[in-house]
Structure 1
Amino acid sequence: MEFIQNFLQQSITFFAIMDPIGVSAIALSLLNENITKTQMNMIAKRSSLTIVIAFFVVLISGDLILKIFSISEDSLKVMGGIVLILMAISMVNGKDKEKTRNESKNDTELAFIPIGIPIAFGAGLFTTIIIFKSQAANLVDLVSISFAFCINALIFYIVLKNSIYIKKYLGITGQNIVTKLMGLIVGAIAVQFIVSGVVHLTNSYL
């Protein structure tokens, strides 16, 4: 029961921060207007593979990062929460993530950078993964985190692959509404991180 509860919380958190529908809209603005379905499928595969590799790199090295910089879990929660709040405000206000097109790169190269990193996998996911890793008590918790992210990576792939059709049916307004809703969820998660971190830090110094 606890495994399912943690898995659902992690899945919703990853989904809200990743915002696949919002990212797909940004991706289309970066790519060639005449991009084909086959090319879009290839870009979706490469971007999804990029974020999965980035996830496991952060998951494996998370403890090392905390030890090197002598950062406590609670301090990371507070700082991570602040990062997520800034991200949530940007999403609610309708400000896009980074979307600078490098004309010297072809569309398949853009799948790795910037679509994979840092648009889909940015600072928000980075800090959230480290926080979840620091909270993991055993191997089952790590499996839950990994499974939750991989499910979202699959959703990201499906959404990005079909982004041309999603844009057609939802339109810019629909995509913006979804992003704003995700922003509210990210903001609520950020507040939980900050409150939890501040409470534990306060108790440790009293």
Structure 2
Amino acid sequence: MTEFFNLLLQHTITMMAIVDPLGVSAIMLSLLPQSTTKEHIDKIARKATLTIIVAFFVVLISGNFLLNLFSIEIDSLKVMGGIILLFTAIKMVQGSMESKNQTEEEREEAIKNDEFSVIPLGVPITFGPGIFATIIILRGHSEGFISIAALIMAYLIVALSVYLAFKNSIYIRKYLGITGQKIVSRLMGLIVGAIAVQFIVGGVSVLVKHYM
């Protein structure tokens, strides 16, 4: 039981930092028109959360199959995933994850289109290459029911956090402000950067021992 809770805590912190619910909720608001109602935001939150949950289980189930299919070692993926995470972390720290400016007409079209909740909000804004690589890496190191259950539970906690952040994004922006959300996102960027370095160093050290 102790192992389960330790893994649950580790996986939750890791994926929470990478997904950054507060940061993506700010991006969501920037993509939507000012006239968006609370009911529309609730609907978007539900669909986007369902999207990232489905994406998680697809990656969880097919991750090892893809590695075996292309004969990719988990440590090679750790290095590449670490590099992707490092670039993501740099963008988060620099504040360049925010969306580009859109016209009000484009924003109105986005809210009318149900696919907005799936693409781009669900994938790739919330469920991007960084979390994709992380899930495959964590799944590759998960052996037995306890570790896999901890990974699934941790991601569901992250997904719930995303849903709550999206659903209450208007209130979060009201109390934290744009500056507050950016500060949180930059702090998450530092954590993601540290995780990226660990992935890269860990993967490189094993590969060097294996091939040298």
| TM-score when normalising by structure 2 | 0.93
* Distance change >3 Å, CA 32–CA 107, structure 1 → 2: farther
CA distance in 1, matches of 2:98, 2:131: 13
2:164 corresponds to: 158
How many Å apart are 1:184 and its aligned residue?
Answer: 0.3
CA distance in 2, matches of 1:120, 1:127: 13
CA distance in 2, matches of 1:100, 1:81: 29
Q: What SS is found at the alignment partner of 2:34?
A: coil
CA distance in 2, matches of 1:99, 1:7: 35
How many Å apart are 1:166 and its aligned residue?
Answer: 0.5
CA distance in 1, matches of 2:101, 2:119: 10
Letter in 1 for 2:131: L
2:40 corresponds to: 39
CA distance in 1, matches of 2:101, 2:208: 42
Q: Does 1:199 align with 2:205?
A: yes
User: How many residue pairs are counted as aligned between the two chains?
Assistant: 206
How many Å apart are 1:174 and its aligned residue?
Answer: 0.4
1:68 corresponds to: 69
The question of whether the paired residues in 1 share the 8 Å contact of 2:31 and 2:99 is answered with no
How many Å apart are 1:17 and its aligned residue?
Answer: 0.6
Q: What SS is found at the alignment partner of 2:156?
A: helix
1:134 corresponds to which of 136, 140, 144 = 140
Q: What SS is found at the alignment partner of 1:96?
A: coil
The question of whether the paired residues in 2 share the 8 Å contact of 1:31 and 1:107 is answered with no
2:173 corresponds to: 167
Structure 1 residue ranges without an equivalent (≥5)? none
How many Å apart are 1:126 and its aligned residue?
Answer: 0.4
- Following superposition, which runs of at least 4 residues in structure 1 exceed 2 angstroms of deviation? 97-105
CA RMSD of aligned residues (A): 1.4
How many Å apart are 1:107 and its aligned residue?
Answer: 5.3
Structure 2 residue ranges without an equivalent (≥5)? none
* Distance change >3 Å, CA 200–CA 100, structure 1 → 2: farther
CA distance in 2, matches of 1:167, 1:109: 24
Describe the superposition over 1:98-117 as per-residue Cα deviations: whole angstroms up to 9, x where unpaired.
Answer: 55765544254311111111
The question of whether the paired residues in 1 share the 8 Å contact of 2:30 and 2:99 is answered with no
1:123 corresponds to: 129
CA distance in 1, matches of 2:97, 2:134: 20
Q: What SS is found at the alignment partner of 1:195?
A: helix
CA distance in 2, matches of 1:43, 1:195: 39
Q: Does 1:187 align with 2:188?
A: no
CA distance in 1, matches of 2:184, 2:114: 26
The question of whether the paired residues in 2 share the 8 Å contact of 1:74 and 1:200 is answered with yes
1:55 corresponds to: 56
1:146 corresponds to which of 152, 164, 176 = 152
Q: What SS is found at the alignment partner of 1:136?
A: coil
Q: % of aligned pairs identical?
A: 53
| TM-score when normalising by structure 1 | 0.95
